[in-house]
Amino acid sequence: MVGATVVGVFLALQARINGALGAELDDGIAAGTISFAGGLVVLLVGTALLPQGRRGVRRLAAALQEGGGLRPWQCLGGVCGGYLVFSQGMAAAELGVALFTIAVVAGQITSSLLVDRFGLGPAGSQRVTANRLIGAALTLVAVVVAVSAKLSSAHVSWMVLLPLLAGAGVGWQAAVNGRVQQAAGSTLTAGAVNFAVGFTALAIAFSIEVLLRGFPELTPQPWLYTGGLLGIFVIGGSVGLVRYTGVLLLSLGMISGQLIGALLLDLLLPAAGTGISVSTVAGVLITLLAAAVASMPDRAGRAVPRLPR
């Protein structure tokens, strides 16, 4: 859970960088494509140079050919990351960031509960216990509280379905990426597959956008192109942890980390017009409580999955 929280902090920092890049380019899809491209290049080089990466590619190919251990559709988790970026560009401005965030978290939590229940992730099937339901509900409450100061400007429309589906995809993505890591025996290989699939999906959307709007003018600020490097730690960390935590606890830990990261960024590197609100601090505390409740053993004595011996 501590590891999942740290991953969430990295995700908050990545979101700040990608958001700044998208604002500079005035193009969220272009920013996402650039971010995925940067992470993909690093992971492909690492996969080619490191023995662990090369072994992972061979094992992954063998698992796909055998047809029993892994199926091709389980390698498509990166599409969900690309769709999340697409939904940000399509719906975040229309709905407002606050409502958009609530919708994503609601979809993610619901999906995580179902994914764990049906055993789609590498941790296997996990019962929907009272503790897990309470933890999931508290997390959603925490996010609502954290963004409540910005909800007054939210505009509800049918477009709320876009972030809801994006959040559901995030839960499914964590599960199938974990399966890829399990089959390949390499977090590096699983991360490379995720980035390759996500980049392909975004590149297609970006190509269509270029035909319609033209190519955006790039910014000369190099730090705005580091989001993909942070994404390596986000995807790698979630892929490595999900087989121990299950998808729900991974999601709750990452959501906690995102709120903590956002709070730290507002303290240390405040953006224009932002400040620390009581609601944000309260949201962080509630998410930590939610994660603690969800990770408690149930009445039957079944705790969360233990580390394999």
* pLDDT tens by residue, 238-293: 999 999 999 999 999 999 998 898 888 878 877 655 567 788 888 889 988 998 89
More confident call, 52 vs 23: 52
Classify residue 305: in a domain, yes or no: no
Q: Is 91 helix (H, G, I), strand (E, B) or coil?
A: helix
For 176-217, the three-class secondary structure string (H helix, E strand, C coil) is: HHHHHHHHHCCHHHHHHHHHHHHHHHHHHHHHHHHHHHCCCC
Classify residue 309: in a domain, yes or no: no
Classify residue 192: in a domain, yes or no: yes
Give this prediction's pTM.
Answer: 0.88
Classify residue 61: in a domain, yes or no: yes
Classify residue 303: in a domain, yes or no: no
Cβ atoms 94, 157 nearer than 8 A: yes
Contacts (Cβ under 8 Å, ≥6 apart) of 235? 39, 81, 177, 190, 191, 194, 195
Classify residue 175: in a domain, yes or no: yes
CA distance 197 to 72: 12
CA proximity to 32, closest of 92, 88, 85, 100: 85
Cβ atoms 247, 132 nearer than 8 A: no
Classify residue 304: in a domain, yes or no: no
Give the residue numbers spanning the domain of 8. Answer: 1-297
Q: Which helix (H) or strand (E) holds 255?
A: helix 227-268
CA distance 52 to 236: 14
Classify residue 308: in a domain, yes or no: no
Total number of domains constituting the chain: 1
- Residues 45-102 pLDDT 10s: 999 999 999 999 999 999 998 766 789 999 999 999 889 888 877 777 677 777 888 8
